[in-house]
Chains A and B, each alone.
Chain A
Amino acid sequence: MTAVSAVAPRVTPLARERADRIFDLACLWIPAAALLLFFVYPIGMMGYRSLLLPDGSLGFGNFSQIIGSRSFLRALVNSLTMGLATTAVTVALGLLLAFALHRCRLWLRIVLLGAISLPVIAPSLVQGLGLIFLLGRNGLINKTFGLQVEIYGFWGLLIANSLYALPQAAMIIGAALRNADARLFEAAEVMGATGWRRFIDLTLPNIRFGLLSATFVVFTVTITDFGNAAVIGGDYTVLAIEIYNQVIGQMNLNLGAVVGMLLLLPTVLAFYFERLATQRQFGTQSEAAVPYRPGHDPWRDGIIGTLAWLVALAPVTVVGVVVYASFMRLWPYRLDFTLRHYDIKLAGGYDPLWISIGISAAAAGFGTIFLLFLGVALKRLGGPAARAIYFVSMLPAAVPGLVLGLAYVFAFNQPGTPLILLYGSAALLAMCNFYHYHTQGFATMTTGLRQIPPALEEAATCIGASAWAVLRDVYIPYTLPTLISVFFFLFMSSMVTLSAVIFLVTPNLMLAAVTVMRLDEGGYTAQAAAFSTAIMLVVTAALLLARGTLWLAQRRIRLSAEA
């Protein structure tokens, strides 16, 4: 680029160049400053608080004190047991589903994909809610067959967590499976390897990082998830609940800080392995790789396909029963259609839903603009500062929502600092949601920006376009599909998340997912189901809107490319 502008006539006056530079720097530093304030600072504050002793000195006293406490130990052991059990179940089933999706020829593959992705559009406690409708004391199964199955506790939570984490596991393992080079399998086949041997000798070793990454992600999601534990955990107390009770119930902030720091450990490892997995995937060594296309194999497709459909039936049933029960007069006794559960007067009626939509839209809108600016600035500017900011931008994925929410309490609930003004405000909730999902949005954005042909930007600059004009005329039109994806991703994630915002809501500023939990706690399960259904409706509408606008945007780009 420098070579080109050196020989091109200087159409840009000096003042313009300075304006461009200021624009670039603003693009970089405004989002970077926000990243510092709303991500780095809270985590730092939490770390500081975990080390701050009652006498004002710093040390590990809090850690030893808490690790010695009986209730903490019990919650820790429960959480670890639950984490390991859920991980074992979910990774095995995730491998099955991913294998079915990417290595088999299935009938209605896309429907299977949709079925197992279903939990993504629902707040995390919907799995628990659905299980209670099916298997609870007043559940369909117990009433129909006169049984006494007890679902609250370990088993219920295990099933709910597995259902919740399954789409993520299947996605991560699927990404590892998808990159296979067909030639490797053909070579093995010609050498005499059966399908089973190819799976053991080639498939498994080559997705080991994907499996490892899925293991850590599922483990983390499980031990930090709040919603299902609250709904179906019963007496089986896990860390997430223990923290919530200690911090919000008893204002025991030290414990919160210490546990928050401890919970960062597995996720930092998970984060590391996930990066390793994306770098070392199958077949990356050869550009001439031929993508694997499963051939016809009735035995493999029959067996794996049937098992996969059986597994996929679970999320469909559990989410479906919530929707179904929300329309029934008195579950499971009087199954006639009614809309009366949707007439919610408690807890502010539908206000929380509207507040959630507003906050999610704000998080998505703000977030998309910030990420665009940040991505463009990092693309145009180099240097150590830019590299450091890039690195920090990738970090929020390593911080579970529960920990981020806690960290916000330490950073913003500080009387005597100006930051207290933000505490309890909608703006803070929006920022919390945005930074909770910052990494995924940032990764999508940088991938999208990378696809802009560099020649286009150079050409625009050489004919004298200002930095702002390049942004408006080159970046935004070309990354429109990316912008749409990022916006709706942030919106939908914000709509269903519970674990971060649970620490920040106030009675006047209630969010939809929290309302579902409150309704359920109050015994209004039918209303909780109705409210969940309303949330899923909003998220589904957003999903359809995203698909529609993406289609339009891509068509526009295609048309302009043909013209």
Chain B
Amino acid sequence: MHLAIEQVAKSFGSVVALDNVSLGVDTGEFVCLLGPSGCGKTTLLRIIAGLLTMDSGRLTLAGRDLTQVPARLRGFGIVFQSYSLFPNMSVAANIGYGLKLRGTPTADIAKRVNDLLALIKLPQIADRYPWELSGGQQQRVALARAIAADPALLLLDEPLSALDAKVRAELREEIRDLQRRLGIPTVMVTHDQEEALTLADRIVCMSRGRIEQAGTPADLYARPTTRFVADFMGVSNLIEPSRLSALLPQLMQDYPGGDQLLCLRPEHLAVRPGTLGKVMSTTFLGNITRLKLDTPLGMLVAELPGQADFAPGDGIDIAPDPARGAWVAA
């Protein structure tokens, strides 16, 4: 384990921001902290960076205890949501600042800055000032600045959420390529599940200061373990076991017992004409069609590829694959 976070707790007055969180980041791994606003993601990131002290817990980097190490000696890189470039410095000076602080010779700094500018595909802007750049460009420079001094860990706090949709998608790709290429272990905070799904090796889904579930994007999507994760990672149909055992007993095979719900993703419902329920509405979304179904199991959402042959009022049956369902804690 490269970075290890053990039992970290933090409160602001009576607000518990982090409730005994434990987490590891492997060498070269991209970890996304995902969760709704106010769940403690930024707090955790700032504790890792050393910008905030924790109330209790332990933080180690490659076995070395970081608790007493101030932020400036941790050797990390950070990018914030707002463009936090130094307004009084040119792009080159911004990127080279960390190296300058380390006493790197000027010629080496200039070379490194040029390499980084090429890496972020903005080779011409070394002498410009932050206010002369667009939001997307500023964020790329911020990224170059964060990785300039070969950080032991890269920290990103919602780096894309201030950008408009198109730039965001572009930069998302680039962040991923860059991270994979350089192999810098990275922790990124986001509240956007799509961002987390596309970027992360591992997603850590948080809610109210706790880790709900951690795993690969595929894991979290296909096998959520709590109702919160099922809801947060895309659309889900949550069905009570009491209704299932009467209508679709084959889905009860893996029922672990207790207060659990079956989570079925809309694309796994396998809708066909029948008598179980009926279609309430259809919405054509281009590559898929979304159906709202009224069934004795409750209101369900189904997604069929392309344009589906159903109209509101049609009778339907569903035949979900039991292997696709996941039992989640209610």
Q: Do A and B come from one complex?
A: yes
Q: Does A340 contact B (CB under 8 A)?
A: no
A window 184-242: CB within 8 A of B:
184, 186-194, 197, 201-202, 205-206
Q: Does B130 contact A (CB under 8 A)?
A: yes
Residue of B80, B98, B162 ringed by the most chain A CB atoms within 10 A: B80
Q: Does B165 contact A (CB under 8 A)?
A: no
Q: Does A563 contact B (CB under 8 A)?
A: no
Q: Quick one: given A190-B72, A190-B78, A191-B97, are A183 and B84 in contact (CB under 8 Å)?
A: yes
Closest-by-CB residue of A relative to B78 is A190
Q: Does B246 contact A (CB under 8 A)?
A: no
Interface string of B89-121 (1 = CB under 8 A from A): 100000001100110000000000000000000
A194–B102 Cα distance when bound, in Å, is 11
Indicate if the CB atoms of A197 and B162 lie closer than 8 Å: no
Q: Does A288 contact B (CB under 8 A)?
A: yes
Residue of A183, A190, A282, A290 ringed by the most chain B CB atoms within 10 A: A190
Known: A184-B84, A190-B71. 16 other contacts (CB 8 A): A183-B84, A184-B86, A189-B72, A190-B50, A190-B72, A190-B74, A190-B78, A191-B98, A193-B97, A197-B101, A202-B86, A202-B88, A286-B82, A286-B83, A288-B81, A288-B82
Indicate if the CB atoms of A192 and B82 lie closer than 8 Å: no
Closest-by-CB residue of B relative to A283 is B87
B-side residues, CB < 8 A to A, are 49-51, 71-78, 80-84, 86-89, 97-98, 101-102, 130-131, 142, 145, 149, 155, 162
Interface of B is mostly: loop
**How close is B249's CB to chain A, nearest CB, in angstroms?**
53
B89 surroundings in chain A (CB, below 8 A): 201
**How close is A56's CB to chain B, nearest CB, in angstroms?**
55
Closest-by-CB residue of B relative to A280 is B87
In the A-B complex, the 7 residue pairs with the smallest Cβ-Cβ separation, listed nearest first, are A288-B82, A205-B88, A183-B84, A191-B98, A190-B78, A192-B101, A192-B72
Q: Does A289 contact B (CB under 8 A)?
A: yes
**How close is B206's CB to chain A, nearest CB, in angstroms?**
21
B142 surroundings in chain A (CB, below 8 A): 187
A290 surroundings in chain B (CB, below 8 A): 82
Q: Quick one: given A193-B72, A194-B72, A197-B101, are A188 and B80 in contact (CB under 8 Å)?
A: no
Q: Does A274 contact B (CB under 8 A)?
A: no
A194–B78 Cα distance when bound, in Å, is 16
A286 surroundings in chain B (CB, below 8 A): 82-84
Indicate if the CB atoms of B77 and A190 lie closer than 8 Å: yes
Indicate if the CB atoms of A181 and B84 lie closer than 8 Å: yes
Closest-by-CB residue of A relative to B74 is A190
A420–B73 Cα distance when bound, in Å, is 74
Interface string of A154-191 (1 = CB under 8 A from B): 00000000000000000000000000010110111111
Q: Quick one: given A193-B72, A285-B131, are A206 and B88 in contact (CB under 8 Å)?
A: yes
A181 surroundings in chain B (CB, below 8 A): 82, 84
A253–B75 Cα distance when bound, in Å, is 69
Closest-by-CB residue of A relative to B131 is A285
Q: Quick one: given A184-B86, A206-B88, A285-B87, are A193 and B80 in contact (CB under 8 Å)?
A: no
A189 surroundings in chain B (CB, below 8 A): 51, 71-72
Indicate if the CB atoms of B82 and A289 lie closer than 8 Å: yes
A186 contact from B51, B102, B130, Cβ within 8 A: B51
A189–B77 Cα distance when bound, in Å, is 10
B84 surroundings in chain A (CB, below 8 A): 181, 183-184, 186-187, 286
A186–B98 Cα distance when bound, in Å, is 13
Indicate if the CB atoms of B49 and A190 lie closer than 8 Å: yes
B80 surroundings in chain A (CB, below 8 A): 183, 186-187
A197 surroundings in chain B (CB, below 8 A): 101
A206–B98 Cα distance when bound, in Å, is 19
B86 surroundings in chain A (CB, below 8 A): 184, 187-188, 201-202
Closest-by-CB residue of A relative to B130 is A285
A201 contact from B73, B78, B97, Cβ within 8 A: B97
Closest-by-CB residue of A relative to B148 is A191
Indicate if the CB atoms of A206 and B50 lie closer than 8 Å: no
10 contacts between A and B (CB under 8 A): A189-B71, A190-B50, A190-B71, A190-B78, A190-B155, A192-B149, A193-B101, A202-B88, A206-B87, A285-B87
Indicate if the CB atoms of A192 and B78 lie closer than 8 Å: no
A110–B88 Cα distance when bound, in Å, is 31
A184–B51 Cα distance when bound, in Å, is 12
A190 contact from B51, B81, B88, B131, Cβ within 8 A: B51
Indicate if the CB atoms of B101 and A190 lie closer than 8 Å: no
Closest-by-CB residue of B relative to A284 is B87
A205–B72 Cα distance when bound, in Å, is 21
B74 surroundings in chain A (CB, below 8 A): 190
**How close is A394's CB to chain B, nearest CB, in angstroms?**
25
A188 contact from B50, B97, B131, Cβ within 8 A: B97
A206 surroundings in chain B (CB, below 8 A): 87-88
Residue of A191, A287, A289 ringed by the most chain B CB atoms within 10 A: A191
Closest-by-CB residue of A relative to B97 is A191
A186 surroundings in chain B (CB, below 8 A): 49, 51, 71, 78, 80, 84
